[in-house]
Chains A and B, each alone.
Chain A
Amino acid sequence: MKKTIKLMAGVGAISVMMASAAFADHTVKVGVIAPFSGPFAIWGKQFKEAVEVYVAQNGETAGGHTVEFIYKDSGGPNPSGTKSLAQELIIGEKVDYLGGLVFTPNALSVASLIDEAQIPTVIFNAATSSIVLQSEYFVRTSFSLWQVSVPMAEWAWEQGIKTVVISVTDYGPGNDAQVAFTTAFEALGGEVLDAIGMPLSTTDFAPFMQRIKDQSPDAVFAFLPAGPPTFAFVKSYNENGMKDAGITFLGTGETDETTLEALGDAAIGLTTAYHYSAAHVSDLNQAFTSKLDEMFPGSVANLASVGAYDGAHILYQMIAAVGSDRTKAVDVVRGYEWESPRGPVSLDPDTRHITQNVYIRRVAKDENGNLINEEFQTIEAVPDLGLL
């Protein structure tokens, strides 16, 4: 009896080994590191849904290789945790590619690792310009604050806006947005009256509104992280009668699709410059958003979704071309051009950052009465201006 069990166990073990050996030829693993728990869990959710939509539309294979996505939860900004997750994915799970990465410190923490292990890594979000310079294995499909803030400054100047007060959250991306906007706006001849750094955790913006109002600028340029701060800022902008005081709202991602409905009708008319709107008019975007809605009812596409969707596309391109022979994978996609749900895009051959259209949008109501970011002007093929 004992012998039989042993024999069976042995046969079982061998067949499992054979199966995994047979698999090794065809399966390419991709590790996706993102927040799936805690206050930032929405990012992981958006990433995963978008990747699954891409897989549903394009099949589970790329160039004969089955692609397997493995998700790991990084929580919030947590570089040491992210690095050890990446280590486990590379050494333990034997992944050939990495993806995801929402926060700048998390992305930076894997730079030396992916260099050493030669793992092409597609950043779905982390937007600080300098990240891609830290490793030749980084490819980024999101955006950078420079990329969207400079077009905003230029558009504002064209509208006859001469004076601006900048009001940003006092952290990395906020600082990036402020420097980018100031540089572009002053180069054109505009005047930045004041730059206010607001604390990351505050949701009471009335004092800032008063300070802005006292200087009576033509416009206020704001950058805040998506979520409660944005919501409270826009609400405060409306309640303090800024619009009536003739102060135009200029922003970037403040009217994110996932929080737009919560802003309500007060948001109508807000102008922002950004790389993606869920209401972008194209067949591909239509296919993407309707498939997303079909697979995950109630989900809306936003910047995280499109970053992950295009990230999956880039991963598929690399895998189709080289499979798990990943050392040459990044070279395959340098300068690669494709059609994304956000419009025509390409990867810069040097910086490996996405070059894309930036759209000037205003919040409006669609035919169903839902709030959308309506694109009305396009600045074509903007590279990451922070890296020039």
Chain B
Amino acid sequence: MQETQIKPAENLAQTAAPARSRKFLIKLLIDLALIGVGIAAYFIFPDNLGFITRILIMIILVLSLDLVLGYAGVATLGHAALFGAGAYGAGLFAVYFSADPLLGLLVGAIVGAIIAFISGLFLMRAHGLTLLMLTIAVAQILQEIINKERAITGGSDGLLGIDMDPIFGIYAFDFFGKTGYLYALTVLVIVFFALKILVASPFGAMAKGIHESAPRMRAIGTPVYWRLVGIYTISGFIAGIAGAVSAQVTELVSLEAFGFALSAEAMVMLILGGLGRLYGAIIGTVIFMVVHHTAASIDPFNWLFVIGTMVLIVVYFVPEGFMGLPVKLRRWLRWQK
């Protein structure tokens, strides 16, 4: 909307191609800078690698949620179902079959996708509150199954005995969390670029189209239901990756991987950052988790107030999330003049 306003009319015909390539270059530079930040963090915060690794994993999960909620507009409060499926998929695979991390990662992703596909078959028929409740129910059912199958899954004690082999047989997981960090960072970078391509593709445009008006998409011949199941399955694949990395780095999975708190926190992070934007998922997660961590280490007893206040302020004043902040500021400055 704003872009068409800003762009002068004469630019469109002749300079569209160079402008687009320049824009592409700038975006590429931003992405490279982000990767640079990720690598720099490795050297700047050697003491906090465990924590930053958790941020990276969470970003992957929030990205997968963004695909469903931000792009396709499917409201879900049960995304932990897919995360947990990936975590237990990778964890059980490591305990009973093979401790190879990359193989486990693939298994986690596939399990996440399968669960998303099966649950998506009936979830995507529902809308609104019914959908919200059903997504929560799926997560709880999975949690209860894992709890009941205590002999295999360890029940509420958690799945014990995950002892990962070195990556490629060379890089062992160390207690400083160095390998875990670089592993999670690599996975995140790959997931991020894959998603970038996906949302820029016709498939991504179709998702946005469904978000804006499902009846119109149906009218132009899009099988909306099956496309939504497809998007949900891809999202499950990515959430499964997040779960798998979490299981492998922590070397323990517990029932909380399916917890409502995880689904809700992922959603808060996404809303904080800005729905429907991949950078929003990154920024929201980083800000939420860093504030959470800092507040909790300064005052481990009352930090919840800080988080609550921050969420309240952002949602009230910048409903678009942190990604909407520049536009808000520009508008405010113009108004000041």
Do chains A and B stick together as partners?
Answer: yes
A residues bordering B, Cβ < 8 Å? 36-38, 41, 44, 71-73, 76-81, 83-88, 90-92, 104-105, 108-109, 112-113, 116-117, 128, 130, 134, 170-172, 175
| Known contacts A77-B256, A83-B50, A91-B46: A104-B158 contact under CB 8 Å | yes
In angstroms, Cα B174 to Cα A226, docked, is: 37
Given A76-B256, A77-B256, A117-B175, 6 more pairs with CB closer than 8 A = A37-B300, A37-B302, A80-B252, A83-B251, A83-B252, A87-B176
Q: Inside 8 A of B253's CB, which chain A residues have their CB?
A: 79
CB distance from B249 to the nearest CB of A (A): 7
In angstroms, Cα B46 to Cα A108, docked, is: 24
B225 within 8 A of A: no
Q: Which one of B246, B297, B300, B304 lies within 8 Å of A44 (CB-CB)?
A: B300
Q: Which one of B50, B163, B250, B255 lies within 8 Å of A77 (CB-CB)?
A: B255
Q: Inside 8 A of B250's CB, which chain A residues have their CB?
A: 79-80, 83, 109
In angstroms, Cα B300 to Cα A44, docked, is: 10
Q: Inside 8 A of B304's CB, which chain A residues have their CB?
A: 37-38
Q: Which one of B163, B177, B252 lies within 8 Å of A87 (CB-CB)?
A: B177
| Residues of B contacting A: mostly | helix
Contact with A along B230-273 (1 / 0, CB 8 A): 00000000000000001001111111100001000000000000
Q: Inside 8 A of B186's CB, which chain A residues have their CB?
A: none
CB <8 Å contact, A113 and B256: no
CB <8 Å contact, B158 and A87: no
In angstroms, Cα B88 to Cα A59, docked, is: 46
**Which stretch in B18-26, B72-80, B149-157, B195-203 binds the other chain?**
B149-157
Q: Which one of A41, A76, A80, A117 lies within 8 Å of B54 (CB-CB)?
A: A80
CB <8 Å contact, A73 and B175: no
Give B174's nearest chain A residue, CB to CB: A116
CB distance from A107 to the nearest CB of B (A): 9
B48 within 8 A of A: yes
In angstroms, Cα B252 to Cα A13, docked, is: 41
In angstroms, Cα B50 to Cα A90, docked, is: 11
B residues bordering A, Cβ < 8 Å? 46-51, 53-54, 57, 147, 150, 155-158, 160, 163, 174-177, 246, 249-256, 261, 296-297, 300-304
CB <8 Å contact, B156 and A104: yes
Give A86's nearest chain B residue, CB to CB: B50
In angstroms, Cα B177 to Cα A300, docked, is: 40
In angstroms, Cα B163 to Cα A133, docked, is: 16
CB <8 Å contact, A170 and B147: yes
CB distance from A2 to the nearest CB of B (A): 27
CB <8 Å contact, A105 and B301: no
In angstroms, Cα B50 to Cα A84, docked, is: 4
CB distance from B209 to the nearest CB of A (A): 37
Closest 3 pairs between A and B when the two form their complex, measured CB to CB: A92-B47, A84-B50, A105-B158
Q: Inside 8 A of B155's CB, which chain A residues have their CB?
A: 171-172, 175
CB distance from B55 to the nearest CB of A (A): 10
CB <8 Å contact, A81 and B54: yes
CB <8 Å contact, A108 and B157: yes
Scoring A81, A84, A171 by chain B CB atoms within 10 A of each residue's CB, the highest score goes to: A84
CB <8 Å contact, A79 and B157: no
Sample of 10 A–B contacts (CB below 8 Å): A85-B51, A86-B50, A91-B176, A108-B160, A109-B251, A112-B163, A112-B175, A134-B160, A172-B156, A175-B150
CB <8 Å contact, B49 and A87: yes
CB <8 Å contact, A108 and B296: no
CB <8 Å contact, A128 and B157: yes
Q: Which one of B53, B246, B296 lies within 8 Å of A73 (CB-CB)?
A: B296
Give B46's nearest chain A residue, CB to CB: A91
Q: Inside 8 A of B302's CB, which chain A residues have their CB?
A: 37
Q: Inside 8 A of A87's CB, which chain B residues have their CB?
A: 49-51, 175-177
CB distance from A258 to the nearest CB of B (A): 17
Give A90's nearest chain B residue, CB to CB: B175
Q: Inside 8 A of A170's CB, which chain B residues have their CB?
A: 147
